[in-house]
């Protein structure tokens, strides 16, 4: 496919869709694996990796060809996933048969050159969402019993932060100095020093927050509020609320470019576009009533 597109997964429809970011029109829909939850991209945008929670595997999507080219078997119920900054690895949270006490304790490592699993690391219980430090040295996974901090070179656990148990999404500041951990059941966002792993602040956001993303320039943090249909916008320096945008029903996923926040709304089955300058909803693309939008990425 020529040019940049917004890609989203359809959890119920088992699809990967492509959206023209200029017109907000749906331009392609590709049948994929069962219950595709999350999606990430390689740094060059050439490949997308999609976690199929209902099939225990990850689909590899070639953005140039516009099709799925291979499937990688992972652990049980793969959920969140993230690519390393050098594009050589994709880290996949194997949540397991239960999102709580009965879940797995593993993270699958996919080599993007061969598209095979080359490592399985031990994490906390039921890992859900994954982020990687900008230097590629550290992998973070939110788990039922805390935030797992893993050395990317050895796969060993550096720390399990039990104070961040049962968290939702996790994001890293572009300069690597801060971690942002979504406390889904407390309606807050924890801000941690990425070096000392100490909690610096806890900020009230929207209800039942799900995911966080940082703007490419590091100036703002965006958090989806699945319980009140909002995106909360925080100034990354002061951590004050800079705005709150109403979007469609049950926003969960999001990704940020220089000009737009792209938001996946699970119940409305849309991908919404929020202008980063005006903080206004400027577009919405319906994916189909039986889609249930999962992850969103731009490539």
Does residue 263 have a pLDDT over 90? yes
For the stretch 74-113, what's the b/e string if a residue is b when 16 or more beta carbons lie within 10 angstroms of its beta carbon?
A: bbebbbbbbbbeebebbbbbbbbeebeeebbbbbbbbebe
Please give the class, per CATH, of domain 32-166: mainly beta
DSSP per residue over 180-210, as a string?
EEEETTTTEEEEEETTT--EEEEEE-SSSEE
Extents of the domains making up the chain = 32-166, 167-283
Does residue 100 have a pLDDT over 90? no
Residue 97 confidence class, pLDDT cut points 50, 70, 90: confident
Which pLDDT score is estimated for 138?
A: 98
Cβ 97 vs Cβ 76: under 8 Å: yes
Which pLDDT score is estimated for 207?
A: 98
**Chain segment 174-189, per-residue pLDDT in tens:** 999 999 999 999 999 9
Does residue 102 have a pLDDT over 90? no
Which pLDDT score is estimated for 108?
A: 98
- 1 or 31, higher pLDDT: 31
Fold agreement between 32-166 and 167-283 = yes
Does residue 251 have a pLDDT over 90? yes
Q: Give the span between the Cα atoms of 39 and 223, in whole angstroms.
A: 17
Which pLDDT score is estimated for 289?
A: 81
Which pLDDT score is estimated for 2?
A: 73
Mean pLDDT across the chain, nearest whole number? 97
Does residue 198 have a pLDDT over 80? yes
Residue 277 confidence class, pLDDT cut points 50, 70, 90: very high
Cβ 224 vs Cβ 217: under 8 Å: no
Q: Give the span between the Cα atoms of 143 and 205, in whole angstroms.
A: 21
Q: What's the fold here for domain 167-283?
A: Methylamine Dehydrogenase; Chain H (2.130.10)
The pair of structure tokens assigned to 9 is 């997964």
């Amino acid at each position: 496919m020529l040019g940049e597109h917004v890609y989203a997964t359809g959890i119920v429809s088992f699809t990967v869709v492509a959206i023209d970011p200029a017109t907000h029109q749906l331009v392609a829909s590709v049948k994929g694996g069962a219950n595709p939850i999350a999606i990430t991209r390689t740094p060059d945008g050439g490949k997308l990796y999609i976690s199929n929670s209902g099939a225990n595997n990850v689909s590899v999507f070639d953005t140039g060809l516009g099709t799925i080219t291979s499937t990688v078997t992972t652990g049980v119920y793969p959920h969140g996933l993230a690519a390393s900054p050098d594009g050589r690895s994709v880290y996949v949270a194997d949540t397991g048969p239960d999102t709580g006490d009965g879940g797995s304790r593993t993270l699958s490592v996919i080599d993007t050159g061969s598209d095979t699993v080359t490592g399985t690391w031990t994490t906390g219980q039921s890992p859900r969402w994954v982020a990687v430090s900008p230097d590629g040295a550290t992998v973070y996974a939110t788990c039922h019993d805390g935030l797992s901090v893993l050395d990317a070179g050895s796969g060993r656990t550096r720390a399990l932060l039990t104070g961040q148990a049962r968290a939702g999404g996790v994001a890293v500041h572009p300069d690597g100095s801060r971690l942002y951990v979504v406390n889904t059941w407390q309606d807050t966002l924890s801000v941690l020093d990425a070096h000392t792993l100490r909690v610096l602040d806890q900020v009230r956001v929207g209800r039942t927050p799900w995911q966080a993303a940082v703007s490419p320039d590091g100036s703002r943090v965006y958090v989806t509020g699945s319980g009140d249909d909002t995106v909360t916008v925080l100034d990354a320096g002061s951590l004050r609320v800079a705005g709150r945008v109403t979007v469609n029903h049950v926003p969960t996923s999001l990704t940020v470019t220089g000009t737009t926040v792209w938001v996946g709304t699970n119940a409305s089955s849309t991908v919404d576009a929020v202008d980063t300058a005006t903080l206004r909803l400027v577009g919405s693309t319906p994916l189909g009533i039986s889609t249930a939008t999962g992850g969103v990425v731009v490539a």
